[in-house]
């Protein structure tokens, strides 16, 4: 976990090099942005402090200061929105294709939510699929679907004997890493649960996300996300942990990304806008859309908004 260096500056989770301050995120600003995003104001007690966003000078990883994740009130509030737990992600299909080719797969999904990914693994028998999450209602859902599920951390599950180190050929953690205050320690625990030559799959947003050039996303900032990941940051993480790393990203055409940004600017994140209505709006405001499209043509080195990382455990 990051701490304060000799100069009194926050220490990056990945480097001792002095970081650079990106911006201040006052508590009042965060509450206002959350209200704008969801259409209702979060409970006052869901946010305990002001935050700052800092950038690691060595890896460009952006991280919150303090590294204090959202509290139980905050996440209980978020869980009340139907859109918070997506039933499908691109990563589910990508990883499923890799896992189902193994006849001996034994899978642990960390941060499993309602178990949607595990239930999609038709090529793996139910007794070889294990779910873990900190959310008790989500774990209850998993159990109702016949999954072996534990509420807690990998460490607490091991302490109770639920499973042992090296028990799994594949360990997955979709959109969890960005939420934790100690990313190195978290991935180390995933590796500990993985057998030799096994695979750990991690996905996070690729930050800054394509639409963040023109639309502020409070959900990719604290207290929701503690860290904002990129290729350099993942490479340094793999070097720290001594594992081989491979990257996977979905196809992300510039025109599709530009249309998404245009929709966000005009209608916000939750509006249902038909394809033809959006095309009509773009045609009437083509100059604005063209500016967005040109920006997306130059997005690099990763065009997509999500990055899937495959770690091979030695």
pLDDT at 5: 57
Please give the model's pTM, rounded to 2 decimal places: 0.94
φ, ψ dihedrals at 293, nearest 5°: -60, -40
pLDDT at 41: 94
12: Cβ–Cβ under 8 A, 6 or more apart, which residues? 2, 19, 54, 56, 57, 58, 59, 61, 63
Token pair of 2, please?
A: 């990051």
What average pLDDT does the segment 64-86 reach?
90
Confidence of residue 102 (pLDDT cuts 50, 70, 90): confident
- The CA distance from 262 to 293, in Å, is 9
Q: For the chain, percent helix, then strand, then coil, each to nearest 5?
A: 40, 20, 40
User: How many degrees, rounded to 5, is the angle at CA 277 between CA 271 and CA 279?
Assistant: 115
DSSP sequence for the chain: ---B-TTSPBPPSS-SSPPEEEEEE-HHHHHHHHHHHHSSPPPGGG--S-EEEEE-TTT--EEEES-----HHHHHHHHTSTTSS-S--HHHHHHHHHHTT-TT--EEEET-TTSHHHHH-TTS-GGGEEEEES-HHHHHHHHHTT-EEEES-HHHHHHTTSS-TT-EEEEEEET-GGG-S-HHHHHHHHHHTEEEEEEEEEEEEBSS-GGGGTS--GGGSTTT-SEEB-HHHHHHHHHHHT-EEEEE-----HHHHHHHHHHHHHH-SS----HHHHHHHHHHTHHHHHHHHHHHHT--S--SSEEEEEEE--
pLDDT at 85: 77
Q: For residue range 155-183, what is the model confidence (pLDDT) as tens digits? A: 999 999 999 999 999 999 999 999 999 99
Residue 192 near residue 246, CB atoms below 8 Å: no
Q: For residue range 44-63, what is the model confidence (pLDDT) as tens digits? A: 999 999 999 999 999 999 99
Residue 283: Cβ-neighbour burial (10 angstroms; 0-12, 13-18, 19+)? exposed
Residue entry with tokens 């002095």 = 18
Average pLDDT across the chain, whole number: 94
- The CA distance from 57 to 70, in Å, is 25
Q: For residue range 17-49, what is the model confidence (pLDDT) as tens digits? A: 999 999 999 999 999 999 999 999 999 999 999
pLDDT at 306: 97
Start and end residues for every CATH 3.40.50.150 domain found in the chain: 90-214+229-251+305-312
Handedness of CA 231, 235, 241, 247 (dihedral sign): positive
Q: For residue range 228-279, what is the model confidence (pLDDT) as tens digits? A: 999 999 999 999 999 999 999 999 999 999 999 999 999 999 999 999 999 9
φ, ψ dihedrals at 311, nearest 5°: -105, 130
pLDDT at 2: 53
Residue 23 near residue 63, CB atoms below 8 Å: no
CATH class of 90-214+229-251+305-312: alpha beta
What average pLDDT does the segment 113-129 reach?
93
Residue 121 near residue 99, CB atoms below 8 Å: yes
pLDDT at 101: 72
Between 83 and 91, the more confident residue is 91
Between 309 and 86, the more confident residue is 309
- The CA distance from 296 to 262, in Å, is 12
Handedness of CA 105, 109, 115, 120 (dihedral sign): negative
Asked if residue 290 has pLDDT above 50, the reply is yes
Confidence of residue 1 (pLDDT cuts 50, 70, 90): very low
pLDDT at 276: 94
Q: For residue range 211-233, what is the model confidence (pLDDT) as tens digits? A: 999 999 999 999 999 999 999 99
pLDDT at 285: 96
């Amino acid at each position: 976990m990051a701490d304060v260096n000799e100069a009194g500056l926050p220490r990056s989770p990945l480097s001792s090099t002095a970081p650079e301050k990106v911006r201040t995120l006052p508590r009042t600003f965060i509450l206002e942005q959350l209200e704008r995003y969801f259409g209702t104001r979060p409970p006052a007690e869901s946010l305990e402090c002001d935050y700052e966003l800092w950038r690691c000078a060595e890896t460009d990883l952006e991280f919150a200061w303090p590294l204090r994740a959202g509290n139980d009130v905050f996440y209980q509030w978020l869980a009340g929105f139907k859109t918070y737990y997506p039933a499908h992600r691109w990563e589910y299909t990508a990883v499923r294709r890799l896992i189902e080719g193994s006849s001996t797969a034994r899978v642990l999904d960390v941060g499993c939510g309602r178990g949607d990914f595990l239930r999609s693994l038709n090529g793996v028998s139910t007794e070889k699929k294990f779910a873990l999450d900190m959310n008790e209602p989500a774990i209850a859902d998993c159990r109702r679907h016949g999954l072996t599920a534990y509420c807690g951390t990998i460490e607490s599950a091991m302490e109770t004997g639920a499973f042992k180190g090296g028990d799994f050929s594949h360990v997955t953690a979709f959109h969890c890493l960005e939420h934790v205050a100690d990313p190195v320690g978290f991935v180390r625990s995933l590796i500990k649960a993985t057998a030799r030559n096994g695979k750990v799959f991690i996905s996070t947003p690729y930050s800054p996300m394509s639409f963040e050039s023109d639309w502020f996303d409070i959900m990719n900032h604290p207290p929701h996300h503690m860290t904002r990941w990129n290729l350099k940051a993942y490479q340094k993480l793999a070097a720290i942990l001594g594992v081989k790393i491979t990257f996977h990203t979905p196809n992300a055409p510039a025109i599709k990304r530009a249309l998404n940004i245009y929709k966000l600017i005009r209608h916000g994140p939750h509006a249902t806008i038909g394809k033809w209505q959006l095309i009509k709006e773009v045609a009437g405001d083509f100059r604005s859309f063209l500016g967005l499209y040109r920006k997306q043509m130059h997005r690099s080195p990763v065009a997509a908004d999500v990055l899937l990382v495959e770690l091979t455990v030695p």
